[in-house]
Amino acid sequence: MFSLGNEIKLTVFGSSHGPYIGGTVDGIPAGINIDLEFIQRWLDRRKPGQSLITTQRNEDDTIEIIGGCRNGFTDGSPFTFIFKNKDYIDRHYDELRDNPRPGHADLTMFYKYGEYRNYEGGGFFSGRMTMPLVAAGALAMHILKKYNIKIVTYIKSAGGISMASKVPVDENYVYGFKTRMPDRENDELLYQKILRIIKEGDSLGSIISTEVYNVPSGVGEPFFNSVESEISKAMFSIPGLKAIEFGSGFMLGGMRGSEANDEFYIENGKIITRTNNSGGILGGITNGMPVTFNIAMKPTSSIRLPQKTVNIKSMEPSEVKVTGRHDPFISFRAVPVIQTLTAFVILDLMMSRKAL
């Protein structure tokens, strides 16, 4: 089992081709209303088979609560839930047992776990392990509603197509777009590009942006539990996520201090900044401005094009061509994972500060 969090702790278990995947959230106070419809809506935004540009694996991804809930409210014990896997085909991975896919964790899994490794479907390195992240994050998002904290996540750029327009402060807005790039013209351009990528047997990466509004100032626990470090730790649990930057990120490396510094002023009795290059965080602590960050999601490693590899038994060069069902644009389903997982981290940090 694997765990995340401090005041609230999420533990996940299961694997891609095992009978179940699940999670436990410990530390949620008793008396919190469990809105199952709300949680399931976010899970449905993550599940496979919902679009031509996602894997066609057919799973319900329906949450089943098995502990921590009584009459629709948390009871103070660990909130525990499971999902049943039903549509997995192990034979798609027979050839991959000894021929690791480039870009996947197949080789490092062999180095660490040897012949006993759980390799079908990527085992517990699979993107299906993000289901419990979404379930726990949706619960956190539901709790954060009381504090008017809103989290917006969307595809900012992919395949050479970028958007620069402002996105409404609406957590659901992006889900009205085919690619989750919330710009009508670019959304269609990207959709057509992904369809071409599918025909070519290849995949596509992206930059995904997140903006968190109305987080109280003073949240964050330096040195080692800063807002940046806690969000980063959580984000790197998502398969395929390879980089993160806060605020203006790497662009700050090309700026002068006079350009980068966010000047303060007072508006309606509150200290705010004229720019937000710092991404709403100074010294690892929130300053009251929106918390913003971008992540880089690499192209899905499972592609239908032949790739050079090495047979780990014979130690001879070999070739692998991945069959089965895989996302050509995993970023599409990563959006709700990032969005809800951010909510989990923000709730955990606020509970650490006793800001609830």
Helix axes 331-352, 227-235, angle to 10 degrees: 140
The DSSP secondary structure of 130-156, one letter per residue, reads GHHHHHHHHHHHHHHGGGT-EEEEEEE
pLDDT tens track for 221-250: 988 999 999 999 999 999 999 999 999 999
**Does the pLDDT of residue 36 top 60, yes or no?**
yes
pTM: 0.94
**Does the pLDDT of residue 294 top 60, yes or no?**
yes
Which residue type sits at 262?
A: D
Which pLDDT score is estimated for 35? 96
Q: What average pLDDT does the segment 31-43 reach?
A: 97
CATH of the domain at 271: 3.60.150.10
Q: What average pLDDT does the segment 288-316 reach?
A: 94
Q: How confident is the model at residue 134 (pLDDT cuts 50, 70, 90)?
A: very high
pLDDT tens track for 188-220: 999 999 999 999 999 999 999 999 999 999 999
Q: What is the mean pLDDT of the chain?
A: 92
Beta bridge partners of 155: 208
- Alpha helices of the chain — where are they, by DSSP H? 36-46, 106-113, 131-144, 184-200, 227-235, 257-260, 331-352
CA angle (61, 63, 66) in 5-degree steps? 145
More confident residue, 288 or 108: 288
**Does the pLDDT of residue 139 top 60, yes or no?**
yes
For the chain, the domain total comes to 1
Which pLDDT score is estimated for 322? 82
Under the phi-then-psi rule, with left for phi > 0, alpha for psi from -120 to 50, and beta for the rest, what region is 221? beta
Q: How confident is the model at residue 131 (pLDDT cuts 50, 70, 90)?
A: very high
Taking alpha carbons only, the member of 81, 19, 17, 86 closest to residue 49 is 86
Q: How confident is the model at residue 80 (pLDDT cuts 50, 70, 90)?
A: very high
**Does the pLDDT of residue 355 top 70, yes or no?**
no
User: Domain residues for 30?
Assistant: 2-352
Rounded Cα distance between 336 and 331, Å, is 10
Q: What average pLDDT does the segment 66-90 reach?
A: 89
What contacts 333, CB < 8 A, 6 or more positions away? 45, 46, 47, 48, 54, 127, 327
Tokens of 316: 């001879």
Q: How confident is the model at residue 112 (pLDDT cuts 50, 70, 90)?
A: confident
Rounded Cα distance between 334 and 298, Å, is 11
Judge residue 243's burial from the number of C-beta atoms within 10 Å of its C-beta, 0-12 exposed, 13-18 middle, 19 or more buried: middle
Q: What average pLDDT does the segment 314-321 reach?
A: 92
Which residue shows structure tokens 């999670």? 23
pLDDT tens track for 165-193: 899 999 999 999 999 999 999 999 999 99
Rounded Cα distance between 272 and 292, Å, is 15
Chain mean position to CA 206? 13
**Does the pLDDT of residue 334 top 70, yes or no?**
yes
Which pLDDT score is estimated for 95? 74
**Does the pLDDT of residue 90 top 70, yes or no?**
no
**Does the pLDDT of residue 75 top 90, yes or no?**
yes
CB atoms within 10 A of CB 66: 12
